[in-house]
Amino acid sequence: MQISVAQYTLYDVMLMLERKELIINENYQRASGIWPDDARSYFIDTILEGYLFPRIYLYQTLNKKTNRPIKELVDGQQRITTIRDFINNKFILNSSSKNFQGLKFEDLTEEQQNKFRLYLIETTLILNAGRNELFELFRRMNAYTSPLTKSELRHSIYQGEFKWLVIELADEITPILEEYKILTVKQIARMADTEFLAELILVLDVGITSRNLSAIDKLYKKFNDEFENKNLYKSIVIEFFDFLNLILPELKNTYIVKSYVIYSLFCAYVCKKNYITEFSCTTTFLSTDKIIDNLKKLSSAHELGEEDGIYSKYVKSSLTSTVSISHRKQRTEVLIQALEESF
């Protein structure tokens, strides 16, 4: 493996992207587009004001079709896609940019545009590296930057079947998690969405548990090489979120959309579908309207903290120790009732 340092102008980088000489390879990082507006505006302001930002990492390989060298973006995906989107006038700078608030790229003066295009970025170019060496480099590089979350560490370390199932599910389901504020944008940016989805798959594999990050680690390791139930588990999770899409529009901004409630609602749903057998329940569901009505009653009791009311079991399990196995099972039991009988 060889490593060299090079400088490119933003114009050079955008030209490489346009000519497909530079590829954004999502195998190395999460998909683009998860930076919130404040972060994007602040980053563009850094360039406009002439400050430095950390170097990006490129991996040079050979395009077998054209027999020409191409570069893959290993680290710096969010920065490069943000620059590209700004140059293409896809967003307006907000108050995080003190001197350029309210402007798109096209609103800058010609001098400012040219200065932006000619901004120099430092890159580390990786040559003659095998994929395993590349992933190890990336893992070690992450280990010495800001502390990674457990989700980010898993994503860097594991490159097998389970990781890519979670990534595929996140691509499809994360917009729902964000839209209904089941997770915040900040949480999603730190890959809490992949951890949440992994916890749902853990339910299908071993049943309801307390929140246990080491158990999730074991799933990544267990199914790294082979994952026989991959398609089955994927279809069940997607089926559940299809169901959620029927009821959540009526429950937006209620306490039902808290992540620990959605976890228990998933458990209730898969119990009723006989995907897991921890509770004895029928396989029939109430109509969508009646389910929504039941969930609204539970949400209201939860929000008001009615620990002595008729939904006390649900409320108590939702106010403290929300990720313990006992409270998860108590919520699930009540939510099963909410799906099958009117309150």
Interval 21-41: pLDDT, tens: 998 866 555 444 457 788 889
Q: Tens digits of per-residue pLDDT, 153-205?
A: 787 778 789 998 998 999 899 989 988 999 986 688 678 899 999 999 999 99
Cβ-count burial of 141 within 10 angstroms (0-12 exposed, 13-18 middle, 19+ buried)?
Answer: middle
**Residue 32 confidence (pLDDT):** 44
C-alpha distances (whole Å) from 276 to each of 199, 206, 217, 244 are 14, 9, 21, 19
Better-scored residue on pLDDT, 85 or 30? 85
Contact (CB, 8 A) for 174 and 193: yes
Q: Which helix (H) or strand (E) holds 45?
A: helix 37-48
Phi, psi dihedrals of residue 17, rounded to the nearest 5°? -65, -45
Q: Which residues contact 211 (CB under 8 A, 6 or more apart)?
A: 199, 323, 324
pLDDT above 90 as % of the chain: 64
Cβ-count burial of 74 within 10 angstroms (0-12 exposed, 13-18 middle, 19+ buried)?
Answer: buried
Q: Which residues contact 83 (CB under 8 A, 6 or more apart)?
A: 10, 13, 14, 44, 47
Q: Sheet of 2-9: strands edge to edge?
A: 2-9, 120-127, 56-63, 68-75, 22-24
**Residue 335 confidence (pLDDT):** 97
Q: What is the mean pLDDT of residues 113-131?
A: 90
- Asked whether residue 81 carries a pLDDT value surpassing 80, the answer given is yes
**Residue 68 confidence (pLDDT):** 84
Reduced to 3 states, what is the DSSP secondary structure of residue 2?
strand
Q: Tens digits of per-residue pLDDT, 280-291?
A: 889 999 999 999
- Asked whether residue 141 carries a pLDDT value surpassing 70, the answer given is no
**Residue 30 confidence (pLDDT):** 46
* Cβ neighbour number for residue 264 with a 10 Å cutoff: 27
Q: Print the SS3 string covering 64-99.
A: CCCCEEEEEEEECHHHHHHHHHHHCCCCCCCCCCCC
pLDDT bracket for residue 135 (50, 70, 90): low
pLDDT above 70 as % of the chain: 91
Q: Which residues contact 91 (CB under 8 A, 6 or more apart)?
A: 37, 40, 41, 85, 104
Angle at the Cα of 164 from the Cα atoms of 163 and 166, rounded to 5 degrees: 70
Beta bridge partners of 73: 24, 58
pLDDT bracket for residue 138 (50, 70, 90): low
Tell me 30's DSSP state: P
